[in-house]
A and B are shown apart, each in its own frame.
Chain A
Amino acid sequence: MSGFRLVAHGIGQVQDLPIPAWLFYTGAVAVLLVSFLLLGLLWRRPLLAGHELGRPLPAGLSQLFLGPVRIALQTISVVLFGIVLAAALLGDTDPFSNLAPTWVYVVFWLGLPALSVLLGNVWRALSPWRALADAFVALLELGGREAKPLAVYPERLGRYPAAATLLAFVALELVYADPSSPRSLAFAIGLYTYLTLFGMAAFGRDSWERHGEGFAVLFAFFARIGPFFVKDGRAGVRWPLTGLAGAERVPGSLAFVAVMLGSVLFDGYSRTTTWQDLAARVESPFIVDQPGLGELLVTLLSLGGLLVAIALVAGAYGAACAAARWTVNAPRSLVPEFVLSLVPIAFVYVVAHYFSLFVLQGQFAIPLLSDPLGRGWDLLGTADFVPDLSVISPTTTWYVQIGALVAGHVAGLAIAHDRAVSVFPSRRDATRSQIPMLGLMVLYTVGGLWVLSRG
């Protein structure tokens, strides 16, 4: 593939058609209607808060999943990690003959969010780094030595390290000129492995996964949307969204969520006519004589675009919280109170933008698993599988996009409202504080729709 980053989102061949105008307006009107409907149905006592502990699963089942099943998955995950790293390092340099790009950008990056929502925080069992660290600790303990972190994590740093690692990954995917190059990926994987194992050794496995490991923090956020959870070594089931009730006071949570939302927004915007033409205008004077300079300029432009998108998301949320605080004369900032209401919106952004990429490009993993290095092998007998790129029609994609965005909007509103009635003793304050939040959600949802509708 090329150095020109117009194939955004890391890897991919087919891009969605823009949502037609009539569907955009239908979606936007649906968002407004749903919003006012919800306003009319406001509940007075928190419905979500207090239910996040649901009920425990039967003890045997819980032990099965958290014990043998987890260890089996961790083993598989380390083996797969080895294969993907070997492919990135030694395999064919054509991204489409190499398992690593499709695996990292499609199977892992788009599959794990969906798995996390459906099955809970599966990254705990699927993270190869955690598995390696667990194995290391188990070996140490077998040898009679105790594994102790070297330092105590400075809590005031909160999730900023995770926001930084997530930003680094989305920049690799969306900004770097050749994201699907297997060798670049090998370098990135190596670097991140080093960082993660270092972080776990320094601050402890759980602490680093809560604060510094971007993927672990991301998938843990997504898992809180869904029904399955683990608390104190016991698996349980709860109503969806109840895991997002409550405030999130860990510093850096807003920065993290803004990276989640902003990166998807930028990815969408970078596929529009406007952005493509802008990038081409910046690069074209240098294409023939100084392609390196042209590429560098477009990379800088994209980095700027990504950072602006993240800043816009965070700024809009900050403004809405400030407006809500001013409306009800709240004594403290409301930023930590409502930040979790953005998590479902971030998830549906992923669904809306990447559903078709996952279904279409994901099929390429089937033949590539048989021939991960592009050497003509047929390990699993699937090397001849031919992906069907017409398996979903553009119309299906459009409906999935609209449906996902509207559903995420409803979920976000519900969580924010539930928080408001927990925080504010007076019903009037609770309602009034939600007017800016409603505006914010409409902005995010209609903005997301608008990006998808731009040709």
Chain B
Amino acid sequence: MIGVRQLMVILAVAALVGLAAGCGGDEAPPVADDTVTATTAPEPTTPETTESTPKPKPKPKPKPTTRQIVIVVDQGRPRGGIKRPTLEKGEEVVLIVRADVGDEVHIHGYERTKALTPGRPARIPLTATLAGRFEVELHHPDALLAVLEIRP
């Protein structure tokens, strides 16, 4: 289970990175790659080992409003356990998924799927229009990565 503190750290870093790297709605794999690398930088606080080295490349394109939910998958396992972020209805977020295996990410209910390339982060912008609990799943291999809890 993810600790609150851990989540805060990730969110704080994610927000910082979002500020630094910017996050326009368009597809920008190189930028996103930096995003995740930077995000995983403080992960040594978690017991898992991380192969990524911190190499922050600040790119001053400020867009702080969109929250990022970062999911890193090692060997089909979400790092830090199944994530359970809570969102308010109407909130806009960006899911960033980087997995070492799997070919697809699927958000149930919203029926959003995104092709994955192992090791490359995928960005899935999402507006939380539906309330409820929604599973975010990795496909092939299949694994539950996160459950979005969207409050009315």
Verify that A and B bind, or say they do not. Answer: yes
A190 interface residue (CB < 8 Å to B): no
Query: Taking the nearest CB of chain A, how far is it from the CB of B47, in angstroms?
Result: 14
Determine if A390 and B129 form an interchain contact, defined as CB atoms under 8 angstroms apart: yes
Q: At the interface, yes or no: A3 with Cβ under 8 Å from chain B?
A: yes
A393 to B152: give the CA distance in the assembly, Å: 8
Q: Is there contact, CB below 8 Å, between B109 and A280?
A: no
Q: Is the beta-carbon distance between A2 and B77 smaller than 8 angstroms? A: no
Query: Beyond A287-B77, A288-B75, is A16–B133 a contact (Cβ under 8 Å)?
Result: yes
How far, in whole Å, are A209 and B143 apart by their CA atoms in the complex? 41
A134 interface residue per 8 A CB criterion: no
Given contacts A280-B143, A395-B152, contact A14 B77 (CB under 8 A): no
Q: Which of B7-15, B27-35, B64-72, B134-142 is the interface stretch?
A: B134-142
Residue A50 interfacial (CB < 8 Å): no
Q: Closest CB of chain B to A287's CB: distance in Å?
A: 3
For chain A, the count of residues having a C-beta within 8 Å of the partner chain is: 27
Contact of A287 among B75, B130, B132 (CB under 8 A): B75
Once bound together, how far apart are the Cα atoms of A393 and B134, in whole Å? 15
Cβ of A276 and Cβ of B129 under 8 Å apart? no
Closest B residue, CB atoms, query A276 = B82
**Shortest distance between the CB of B20 and any CB in chain A (Å):** 32
A277 lies within 8 A of B135 (CB): no
A271, A277, A280, A291: residue with the most chain B Cβ atoms closer than 10 Å: A280
Query: Which residues in chain A, 1-36, are within 8 Å of chain B measured between CB atoms?
Result: 2-4, 6-7, 13-17
B142 partner, pick from A2, A16, A356, beta carbons under 8 A: A2
Which residue on B lies nearest to A390, using beta carbons? Answer: B130
Partner among B101, B139, B144 whose Cβ is within 8 Å of the Cβ of A276: B144
Binary A-proximity of B39-63 (CB < 8 A = 1, otherwise 0) = 0000000000000000000000000
Docked complex Cα distance between A187 and B141 (Å): 25
CA distance A342 to B106 in the complex (A): 39
Enumerate chain B residues within 8 angstroms of A390, measured Cβ to Cβ: 129-131
Indicate whether A147 reaches chain B with its CB closer than 8 angstroms: no
Per the bound structure, the CA–CA distance linking A356 and B130 in Å amounts to: 13
Question: Whole-angstrom distance between the alpha carbons of A455 and B76 in the complex?
Answer: 23
Asked if B93 is an interface residue, CB under 8 A from chain A, the answer is: no
Complex Cα–Cα for A287 and B147 (A): 19
Q: Which residues of B contact A284 (CB under 8 A)?
A: 75-77, 143
What separation, in Å, do the CA atoms of A229 and B89 have in the docked complex?
Answer: 46
Q: Roughly how many angstroms separate A437 CA and B134 CA in the complex, as a whole number?
A: 38
Q: Smallest CB-CB separation from A177: which chain B residue?
A: B142
With A4-B142, A276-B144, A277-B82 given, is the CB distance from A17 to B108 under 8 Å? no
B151 in complex: contacting residue of A17, A271, A288, CB < 8 Å: A17
Interface contact A455-B149, CB-CB below 8 Å: yes
**Shortest Cβ gap from B105 to chain A (Å):** 12
Q: How far is the CA of A455 from the CA of B132 in the complex (A)?
A: 11
30 pairs across A/B with beta carbons < 8 Å?
Answer: A2-B106, A2-B142, A6-B144, A13-B108, A13-B134, A14-B109, A14-B132, A14-B133, A16-B133, A17-B151, A273-B1, A276-B82, A276-B144, A276-B147, A277-B1, A284-B76, A284-B77, A287-B77, A287-B101, A287-B142, A287-B143, A288-B76, A288-B141, A291-B142, A356-B132, A389-B130, A389-B132, A393-B131, A394-B151, A394-B152
- Which chain B residues have a beta carbon within 8 Å of chain A's beta carbons? 1, 75-77, 81-82, 84, 101, 106, 108-109, 111, 129-135, 137, 139, 141-144, 147, 149-152
Given A277-B1, A277-B82, 12 extra CB contacts under 8 A:
A4-B144, A6-B137, A13-B108, A16-B132, A16-B133, A17-B131, A17-B152, A287-B75, A288-B76, A389-B109, A390-B130, A394-B152
